[in-house]
Structure 1
Amino acid sequence: MSAEAAYVRIFATWKLPKNIQFSRNVTIPSVKTELITHLIVTGPERDGGVGVSIMIRNTGNLKVLRSALVGGTAAIALLAALPSYAEGVESATRLEEVRVDQGEAGGDTTGIDPVKGIVARSTRSGTKSTTELKEVPQSVTVVGREQIDDQSPQKIDEALRYVAGVSTSTYGTDADTDWFFIRGFQAEQTGVFLDGLSLFQTGFGTFLVDPFFLERIEVIKGPSSVLYGSGNPGGFVNMISKRPTDEPLRYVETGINNFGNGYLGLDFSDKLGSSDVMGYRVTGKLSGGGWETDHAKDFRGTIAPSLTWSPDDSTSLTILSSYQNIDLTHTSTGFLPYVGTVVDSPNFGRIPRDFFYGDEDFDAYERQQAMIGYEFEHTFDNNWTVRQNVRYANVSLKEDALYANGGSFADPTKLARYRFAHDTDVGLLTVDNQLEGEFATGGLEHRLLVGLDYRHYDIDQVQATGGFVPGDLDIDPHDPVYGNVDLPDLFDPYADNEFKRDQIGIYAQDQIKFGGGWVATLNGRYDFVSTKIDDRTAAGLGSTDTDNSKFTWRTALAYEFDNGLTPYVSYSTSFNPATSVDPLNGLPDPDAGKQWEAGVKYQPDFMDALITAAYFDITRENVVKSEFVGGMSRYYAIGEVEARGFEASVQANVTEGLKAIAGFTYIDMEVVKDLRPELVGNTPVQVPDLSASFWLDYAFQNDALSGLSVAAGVRHVGKSWANDANTLRVPSATLVDAAIRYEKDNWSVALNASNLFDKRYIASCQSEASCGYGAGRTFILKASTSF
């Protein structure tokens, strides 16, 4: 059949949103708009929609066009841009007529948009450019705003409880830090990003982001240094901030938990004045009250203003900022001994889960955190796009408190304690410049991304301890007495330094489509890292300078079948410079990671769902190991760990009102090299061998129960090891969550319960002296309204 004579007629109906603005510069990948020869708007509205008839020459890309038409907003924008030729067409051969009924335009089209239901379609995190999830050659899970609202997490690690491959809250309940592992590797320090820019953390210089301020949370699993520079091989979390909306938004939410901790959240967005090109959003939250731990309390407030300027369809500038202040008396169920938590102590039995081992008279924690940055994007007439993303983040932390220190040597019926204090200031500047465009070479369709990014990290920190005299700070975990202890003096700081790190990365990515379904992804990146440490301790090294450079890469191949199935295979590498300084040799060599991953992604045509499964094999080399020799801690890049596993995930808007989330992870992790040969073959601590989760949410559809929703979830946390020798086990635990909601008009009220049956369990143990209780039963009652 001749391409010159072959046309297809496609008829579609859309329900247009209010005030939609048509773009005349929109193109859809693989569809050449100049081949479209006829456009007819077919008269009166039908079912609230507009009928459109398209005549298009058959170039082999009709499947792509049909998918784009079903996409909604992109299709409407395309139709608005098409030329109309009224004559000379009717004589063309017409092959077929396809009818599509499309609902209201909108959806996840840019990778940062709100997720429709709980199933995301695209992401920017896996490739740094808007890409369908099924085309990203590694496992990616997106937790959208609706899922966050349904499950009501108050921290980022709580929001990841139903994500396959992630183990969360590994140090128990902790109000000032998010703790999580991805594919068996600790990720909260080198694996946290906000809007695609790093929130690198070391020491106690942590950044905190409340889920209320986020549109979505994306977990990218496996090494990603090819795009983002230094990081751990397990993966990273990219949080996407709320941004100004096209339609006016006025939202108020308030809630309180069973420990008396309440909050008030506000979220407002609109056009700025009478302008059609500028919009703003202001999100704020105040909270305070008690926590699960006795005597613990906090007061925290955050405000996040943002502004978007879009003078035309090709240019946009978004300014994002936030300020946070936290003042708390510690709430933590972690850092407790194995004997007394996992198993009974012969002297004091089990330590109560709500035991407060500090003293509120001199427990202090103060945090001020501020961020400001922008995202700029411009698309030229040739469809090449330039972007620049910039952010400066600062956090100042002061802490002075008592911590548990195992059983007392003076009185075995009590716990020992010690004083710990630190003063930490962090500044982090990140800049990412990108150029992206599309072109064809022969039968290959390329989407090329090249970039240059820069990261400057500066932490000034002082850490000290005191009060290790036996008996002085002892406390009875069952009958604690507070307020009668003299605050012990601190020893000379064991850490007093300024740590600066500059990283420049040059990277390129080519996503290549060919052969009617093949997708190849090729990445390469070269990083230059300079680290300067000014050690101010008496026994320190003084000033040290270390330079590193590293090439990382990724190659992947996938095939998109017509039935929605996309199998893929990929190989990727990572690197991560050390932060622990050896007193004699300075910084050890950076650790290096590599991963093979083979998986499949499935988007069925009979249901709005994303189903994924993957096998991964990760090797991490040059792992820093330490030993205490001659009165000093020595650090060596000598360790090696392998992690092999399988994970599967389901996110589905099953039917109208029914949503389902499921995840399964199995990890076999093994020490391959270590300073201590007897540890070779063992499994690292804190890594559960098996975890699984299932969440079902149903909104009743009949008139009698209209507005009522119920949900229930089950989480299984597998067994793990509590010590390097693998002689002490942390048992598995199965937990139940539930929720009930009622919505009417613009009002909503919900009650969420996590660990509904108040299962007492240990989240994990870092060592025999440091275990953390998982959170007990927690109820959150919340109400919201929009106007």
Structure 2
Amino acid sequence: MNSPIRALPRSTSRSLCLAVRLALCAAPLVLPASALAEQIVQRYDIAAGPLGEVLSRYAQASGAPISFESRQVEGLTSPGVRGSFTTEGGFAQALLGSGLMASPTQDGYQLLQASPATDALELGPTTISGKVLGSTTEGSGSYTTGSTNTATRLALSLRETPQSVTVITRKKMDDQNIQNLDDVARTATGITLTKIGTDRSTYYSRGFEISDLQYDGIPTNISENYSMDVMSTSNMAIYDRVEVVRGANGLLQGTGNPSAAINLVRKRPTQDFRLGAELGAGSWDNYRSQVDVSGPLTPTGNVRGRAVAYYNNANSYKDGSGRDNQLLYLVGEADLDDATVLTVGATIQKDNQNGYDWGGLNTRSNGSFYPLSRSTNLNGKWAHLDRNNYTLFSDVTHNFDNEWKLTLAMNAIWSDADFLSAYPNRVSGDNYRMTVSQADYEDTQFALDLYATGPFELFGRKHQLMLGANTRQDEFDAVIKSATNNPTINITDFDYSALPNPILNAIGADYNYTRKERGLYGASRFSLTDDLSLILGTRVSWSDYKVGSPYTNDQYRENGRLVPYAGVVLDLDKHHTWYASYTEIYKTQSYYGVGNTLLDPIEGDNYETGIKGEYFEGRLNTSLAIFQTNLENMPEALSVSPTCGVTGTSKCYEAGAKVRNRGFELEVSGEPLENWNVSAGYTYSDPEYVAGSSKGSDYYRKIPRRLLKVSTDYRLPGVLDQWRVGGDVYAQSRTAADVTGYRIEQGGYALLNLHAHYQINQQFSVQYNLNNVLDKTYYQSLPTSNNFGGLYYGDPRNFAVTLRYQY
């Protein structure tokens, strides 16, 4: 168990500065005990009320989770926590007069009974204990969270949010050894992905493409053809959690598909000194190291910092492939006064890949699969994708005395990439021309968000209000060159290392994509009765999309577009809630009609209703959701010459199709029993054309209609309590390419992963992960035709061993 926080000498700031330097230069794993942090004073304004509710709010505000049994606090009240307190002092204030005390444990704090005669502490009754969870998941030891705000900016529990929400917590990421966004997509309920390149992933939810990522709630565009070539998502070390809100999210980000919002929430500085380190090794010479140091930079703790350094070098099961990934994350917080906090942070990431496989494999002309080894790589040693990502972010938050909070947040990303690779283009039979492209990418994204949240009173009841304005811009430039010596290979008999170095044309083609989005938004949560809440919101949005290439120059603008949002939440009993929500949709298209002009935006609406459950003080959450999405102006291919798109060689389309998607989702996450974490999700999604030339057929069969994802982790009892064991299962239904005259399809499959974790002592632990235990051979993505590649194997069986240190 962790010892209570003790006083920290004035040398703390020097110790932390030294620790930061060590983090950047392979720090040693042990520091002297004198580096333990002094309790940091923080200001709180938590009103009096039932003890359980006050503890919940205080745990969330302080980031210090506390475990207790509900009957320990039943019938007890708290005077609240108002003023400046240390973490333990705040707990003492909240528990004043209750005869209870908060004692530090490895995962936070435990509520204990104080004996007035001896001042000794006794554990309360030993039944299932409740752990009050906040939004921060680091150190919570849980597969669920206490609150999220990705859906509406209002801090609501999963049960209070009238949409489907999944949170991939820090513990789940560690247990499953999640290293990148693809790993997140594989474990998040309802999310799937396809690939057009080893690292060019496209994510889907509820039948449609996810067009934006969020960083701390600020949207970032990933919808251009080459966005994921330049945007590196190959590291999860700097994130506390990933929040996924499925369905439409136009209230906060404007234009977008009714798929999901993926919000990557960064780690923030802690009030106490912490040092974590990891060393990892795995299949195909996969080695990684990580150092994470956090704590106060001044004796009073009013300035705090955090640094994460990460390095990964790995080969691959694919011939000639490998990667080198370096990351540095720095973030600082400063209390400008008792009510105002300023945060400034930056990320530098360099991600270099050799033998980069852009085009993947191909099928035979009849759509059947070649019996090729999973190690097959059609690209030469010269192929590569080298990316540099630089991020600067900041926010300032002021808390008013009336419980209102005002936040101004900024996120800026500068990315560049150098790409050289090829895709297979069938000449005849098994012979393919390897069409080589070289590209230089530059992507600059900037976003600003100003919003306020707080309570107000109306008709004798207390309600919540959120008002905001945001703006963002994405400027994406690419210069693409072709080769003059594209080699021809026989896919059944070739040597990747013999492919000649490409000879590139001296002049390339210039491509430019510019997206601008501005909006005013607001939402209010009306407490109509003690059991019934109504959320009403709207966004007024201005969008501008401009594309320039040698073959097209076009622009689409949308001014003052209204996007309404409505939700209702009804508490059925102590544990269950019925909810329903509605929102409208519009999405700027990147398909082109005859004349090579952009199609009008997709429009539609999204409905969702369901039942949510919350048990054990929020430690276990369940949900059943039923949804329907209706989209109009969907693109339909025309039977004309392929002279459209930015290259002038793509199909031409018209906006005449309608697609309807109906489905349901089941999800469970959290702790059904003490020391047992579980998350499970089942998704059925069936998008189909309901109007247009494809009426009655399925929409985009390359993604599965059914998904099952189950993850679990269990701490063994008794003398084996230093061990945790668990695993996860991924299963999906069949997929197929949307082709005619032949068939490309793959049956459903299931994957099994296992892990075991051993706590060596208080500081050190070791973990073993075995993925694809049964060594299932499957295709992660199917091609769009039998001529141009796009077929990618999934990873074979592989292992990873991780040594962790926590101080």
TM-score range relative to shorter protein: 0.7 to 0.9
Report if the CA contact (8 A) 2:473-2:516 is conserved: yes
Cα pair 2:755 2:769 within 8 Å, conserved? yes
Task: Give yes or no for the alignment of 1:293 onto 2:318.
Answer: yes
**Aligned with 1:151 (options 168, 176, 187):** 176
8 Å CA contact 2:602, 2:633 repeated in 1: yes
State the Cα distance separating 1:156 from its structure 2 match. 1.0
Structure 2 residue 525 is the aligned partner of structure 1 residue 501: no
Say if 2:408 is the partner of 1:388. Answer: yes
Q: SS at the partner of 2:174?
A: helix
Q: Which runs of 5+ in 1 are unaligned?
A: 1-14, 35-46, 57-61, 85-97
Give 3-state SS (helix, strand or coil) of 2:371's partner: coil
Alignment of 1:324-723 (within 5 A): 324-332=349-357, 335-339=360-364, 343-344=368-369, 349-360=370-381, 362-405=382-425, 407-409=426-428, 412-466=429-483, 472-485=487-500, 487-490=502-505, 496-535=510-549, 537=550, 539-541=551-553, 544=555, 546-580=557-591, 582=593, 584=595, 586-605=597-616, 608-627=619-638, 629-630=640-641, 632-633=643-644, 634-674=652-692, 677-678=693-694, 680-703=696-719, 705-723=720-738
- Residues 226/519 of structure 1: CA separation in 2 closer, same or farther (3 Å cut): same
Query: For residues 636 and 462 of structure 1, what CA distance do their matches in structure 2 show?
Result: 28
What one-letter code is carried by the residue in structure 2 that aligns with 1:307? G
Identity of aligned residues (%): 20
Match of 2:110 in 1: none
Q: Distance in 1 between matches of 2:489 and 2:279?
A: 40
For the structure 1 residues 27 and 288, does the alpha-carbon distance in structure 2 shift closer, same or farther, using more than 3 Å as the test? Answer: same
Aligned partner of 1:593: which letter? G
Q: How far did residue 786 of structure 1 move?
A: 2.1
Residues 22 and 544 of structure 1: is their aligned pair in 2 closer, same or farther, counting only changes over 3 Å?
closer
Structure 2 residue runs of 5 or longer lacking an equivalent are 7-38, 55-66, 98-112, 115-122, 645-651
Distance 1:477 1:317, change over 3 A: farther
Q: Residues 154 and 605 from structure 1, CA distance in 2 versus in 1: closer, same or farther, beyond 3 angstroms? A: closer
Q: 2:801 aligns to what?
A: 781
Q: Which residue of 1 aligns with 2:166?
A: 141
Post-superposition offset of 1:700:
1.4
1:767 to 2:784 alignment: yes
With over 3 angstroms needed to count, the CA separation of the structure-2 counterparts of 1:649 and 1:499, relative to structure 1, is: same
1:208 lines up with 2:232 in the alignment: yes
User: In structure 2, do the counterparts of structure 1 residues 718 and 282 end up closer, same or farther at CA, with 3 Å as the change threshold?
Assistant: same
Q: SS of the residue aligned with 1:226?
A: helix
Preserved contact between residue 162 and residue 661 of structure 1 (Cα < 8 Å): no
Q: Summarize the Cα distance change of 1:491–1:324 in structure 2 as closer, same or farther, 3 Å threshold.
A: same
Q: Which AA in structure 2 matches 1:550?
A: R
Secondary structure of 2:495's aligned partner: coil
Q: Are residues 627 and 487 of structure 1, via their aligned partners in 2, closer, same or farther at CA, if it must alter by over 3 Å?
A: farther
Q: Give 1:396 deviation, angstroms.
A: 0.5
Q: Are 2:581 and 2:609, in contact at CA under 8 Å, matched by a contact in 1?
A: yes
- Deviation at 1:490? 4.7
Task: Give the 3 Å change call, closer, same or farther, for CA 312–600 of structure 1 in structure 2.
Answer: farther
Separation of aligned partners in 1, 2:474 and 2:608: 32
Distance 2:177 2:474 in 1: 33
Q: Partner letter of residue 203 of structure 1?
A: N
* Whole-angstrom CA distance in 2 between matches of 1:510 and 1:436: 9
- Once the two structures are TM-superposed, the CA of residue 650 in structure 1 deviates from its matched residue by 0.9
Per-residue CA distance 1:405-457 (angstroms, 9 max, x = gap): 3x441xx3444421122221111110010011211111443100010000111
CA positional deviation for 1:80: 3.5
Match of 1:254 among 271, 279, 294: 279
* CA distance in structure 2 between the partners assigned to 1:696 and 1:53 by the alignment: 30
Q: 1:52 to 1:397 in 2, by over 3 A?
A: same
Residues 53 and 428 of structure 1: is their aligned pair in 2 closer, same or farther, counting only changes over 3 Å?
A: closer
Provide TM-score, normalisation by structure 2. Answer: 0.81
Counterpart Cα distance in 2 of 1:325 and 1:623: 38
- Residue 354 of structure 1 and its aligned partner are, at CA, apart by 1.4
**Any conservation in 2 of the 1:155–1:178 contact (CA below 8 Å)?**
no
Q: Distance in 1 between matches of 2:460 and 2:522?
A: 21
Say whether the 8 Å CA contact 2:478–2:511 is kept in structure 1: yes
Against the structure 1 CA distance between its residues 163 and 518, is the aligned structure 2 distance closer, same or farther, given a 3 Å change threshold?
same
Correspondence for 1:304: 329
Residues 695 and 544 (structure 1), Cα distance of their counterparts in 2 relative to 1, 3 Å cut: closer
Code of the aligned partner of 2:661: A
Residue aligning to 1:93: none
CA shift for structure 1 position 683: 3.2
1:707, distance to aligned residue in structure 2 (A): 1.4
For 1:741, the equivalent position in structure 2 comes to 757
Change in CA separation of 1:399 and 1:626 when aligned onto 2, cut-off 3 Å = farther
1:193 equivalent in structure 2 = 214
How far 1:380 moved relative to its partner? 1.4
Q: Structure 1 residue 706: deviation in Å? A: 3.1
Letter in 2 for 1:683: Y
Q: Which deviates more from structure 2 when the two are superposed, residues 692-701 or residues 385-394? A: 692-701
Aligned mates of 2:707, 2:68 — CA distance in 1: 47
Are the equivalent residues in 2 in contact too, given 1:392–1:427 (CA < 8 A)? yes
Amino acid at match of 2:265: I
* Partner SS for 1:25: strand
- Match of 2:572, as an amino acid? F
Q: Aligned pair in 2 of structure 1 residues 48, 752: CA closer, same or farther (>3 Å)?
A: closer
- Could you say what secondary structure the match of 1:603 adopts? strand
Quote how far apart the aligned CAs of 1:389 are: 0.8
What is the CA-CA distance between 1:370 and the residue it aligns to? 0.4
Counterpart residue type for residue 602 of structure 1: G
Question: What is the alpha-carbon distance in structure 1 between the residues aligned to residue 438 and residue 156 of structure 2?
Answer: 45
Q: 2:195 matched to 1:171?
A: yes
Please tell me the root mean square deviation across aligned C-alpha atoms, in Å.
3.7
Contact 2:41 2:301 in 1 (8 A): no
Moved more, 629-638 or 194-203: 629-638
2-structure distance, mates of 1:74, 1:275: 14
| 1:729 pairs with 2:745 | yes
For 2:179, the aligned partner's letter is: Q
Cα separation, 1, equivalents of 2:625 and 2:590:
32
In 2, Cα distance between equivalents of 1:374 and 1:505: 20
What secondary structure does 1:141 align onto? strand
